[in-house]
Copies of this chain bind each other. A is one copy, B any other.
């Protein structure tokens, strides 16, 4: 299957040996036909969702994930193209950007007709709720075939292809009846538990609106009801007015350390013409993304002159609710507060959700701005 997207990107889908799908996103109309030669392997069965009654929140149980590959050497990297020594996850001998179904998914497409369970409704707590299959989808997004590159070292065209792939996946996953929320993200660095060093991100598509998205939705809905305005628009306006926390901007995007950041280095990147999700982003905004993203991530690594561990998370409106009150933005959080020191989520943060910051947001914004590019 071939499909033409924006910015000259062409998507080709191919089956993998165990029934999963790999999607190549190419800019030069490459022919993709390499066959996955690995032996067939049974896919793990679907896990379960259990309701934590104290918080009325779902926890996904994925016991089969314990055997995952852990920091393999470069020559055994499953995200590099297939080569003489290794049949990797990508059957072809090169690629631009690929997205394939995760081999050890925390969430899996349900079998048969999907019915939204009644227990998914927030507030409808039933502590004896039955175990629910952990429906959803987990995908791996390889940003480049080059094992040693960082995101900001990619060419503008390569980052644009990644953006096109995110938009495409958001559009397509939004069509699935069992998917309620789509979350593209990147974990970078062993300090945040990364098990593969190859530059890549992931997409989690949940069958429920996750707790933090649900809370953001409730807050934004209340704000809209009271003021008639969209919360995120007010927030971006305030950041522009305050100016002191801005890290970078261009014609379409702004990046800033938020007024009440929770991590030593937390940066948000938001489009200046707001949209609900990646699928709603137009080409003009998508085309301007590589420059702001590359500058922002480069400044982050520049602060201490080291590869910063971070979590980069795309916040989108859920698929079916809050489309008018929630707005797309990328949240980057780094736990590194000094070259040899991390911020840990200890008692106050993890048990109480009350964050303590050792550093003022204005101070980290200044450090980020002072990095020479």
Q: What residues make up the interface of A, taking CB atoms closer than 8 Å to B?
A: 50-63, 65-66, 70, 106, 123, 125, 127-128, 181, 183, 185-187, 192-194, 202, 204, 206, 210-213, 215-216, 219, 222-223, 226, 231-232, 234-235, 238, 258-262, 311, 313, 315, 331, 333, 337, 341-348, 350-360, 363
Report A21 CB to chain B, min CB distance, Å. Answer: 22
A337 to B260, CA, bound (A): 33
A232 to B211, CA, bound (A): 20
**Which residue on B lies nearest to A261, using beta carbons?**
B59
Question: A212 is contacted by which of B55, B63, B238, B311 (Cβ under 8 Å)?
Answer: B55
Listed from nearest, the 3 A-B pairs whose CB atoms lie closest are: A193-B344, A211-B353, A313-B351
Contact B359–A63 (Cβ < 8 Å):
yes
Contact A235–B53 (Cβ < 8 Å):
yes
**Which residue on B lies nearest to A338, using beta carbons?**
B66
Contact B193–A55 (Cβ < 8 Å):
no
With a CB–CB cut-off of 8 A, which chain B residues contact A59? 260-262, 355-357
With a CB–CB cut-off of 8 A, which chain B residues contact A212? 55, 351-354
A65 to B358, CA, bound (A): 6
Given A59-B262, A61-B360, A222 and B313 touching (CB < 8 A)? no
Contact A183–B348 (Cβ < 8 Å):
yes
Beyond the given pairs A60-B354, A63-B359, A123-B222, 14 more chain A to chain B contacts, judged by CB atoms under 8 angstroms and listed by A's residue number, are A52-B258, A52-B260, A53-B260, A54-B216, A58-B354, A60-B355, A61-B357, A63-B360, A66-B358, A125-B226, A193-B343, A204-B348, A213-B352, A313-B350
Contact A347–B60 (Cβ < 8 Å):
no
A206 to B360, CA, bound (A): 20
Contact A63–B358 (Cβ < 8 Å):
yes
**Which residue on B lies nearest to A238, using beta carbons?**
B127
Report A187 CB to chain B, min CB distance, Å. Answer: 4
Question: A106 is contacted by which of B57, B106, B348, B363 (Cβ under 8 Å)?
Answer: B348
Main secondary structure of the interface of A (DSSP, over half): mixed
Question: A354 is contacted by which of B206, B353, B356 (Cβ under 8 Å)?
Answer: B206
Question: A350 is contacted by which of B54, B223, B333 (Cβ under 8 Å)?
Answer: B333
A324 to B193, CA, bound (A): 40
Question: A260 is contacted by which of B51, B62, B65, B70 (Cβ under 8 Å)?
Answer: B51
With a CB–CB cut-off of 8 A, which chain B residues contact A360? 61, 63
With a CB–CB cut-off of 8 A, which chain B residues contact A202? 347
A53 to B186, CA, bound (A): 24
Contact B192–A346 (Cβ < 8 Å):
yes
A211 to B354, CA, bound (A): 6
Residue with the highest number of chain B CB atoms closer than 10 Å, among A70, A313, A337: A313
10 A-B pairs, CB-CB below 8 angstroms? A53-B260, A59-B260, A60-B354, A60-B357, A66-B358, A66-B359, A185-B348, A194-B346, A206-B354, A212-B352
Contact B358–A54 (Cβ < 8 Å):
no
Contact A313–B213 (Cβ < 8 Å):
no
**Which residue on B lies nearest to A357, using beta carbons?**
B61
Contact B345–A345 (Cβ < 8 Å):
yes
Contact B210–A354 (Cβ < 8 Å):
yes
With a CB–CB cut-off of 8 A, which chain B residues contact A238? 127-128
A258 to B127, CA, bound (A): 12
With a CB–CB cut-off of 8 A, which chain B residues contact A344? 187, 192-193
